[in-house]
Chains A and B, each alone.
Chain A
Amino acid sequence: MTLYLVSGFIFIATFAAILLGKVNRTIVAMAGAGVMVAVGMGMGFYSQEAALASIDFNTLGLLLGMMILVSMLARTGFFEYLAILTAKKSKGSPWVLFLLLGTITAVLSMFLDNVTTIVLIAPVTVLIAEILGISPLPLLIGEALLSDTGGVATLIGDPPNIMIGSAAGLSFMDFIVNLAPIVLVAWVVALVLLRFLFREYLSQTPGNVEALMKLDERAALHDTATLTRTLIVLGVTILLFFVHNLLHLQPGFVALLGAAAALLWVQPADIEEVLKHVEWPVLMFFAALFVTVGGIEASGLLNLLADGVTALATQDLLLTGVALIWGGAMISAIVDNIPFTIVMIPVIQDLGLSTGLNVTPLWWALALGAGFGGNGTIIGSTANVITVAISEKTSTPITSRIWMKTGLPVMLATLLVATILFVLGFNFLQ
Chain B
Amino acid sequence: MPCMLRVDILVKFKEGVDDPEGKSIKHALELLGFEKVKTVKVGKMYTIYLNCDKEEGYEIAESMVRKLLVNPVIHEYEIRVEEV
Chain A complexes with chain B: no
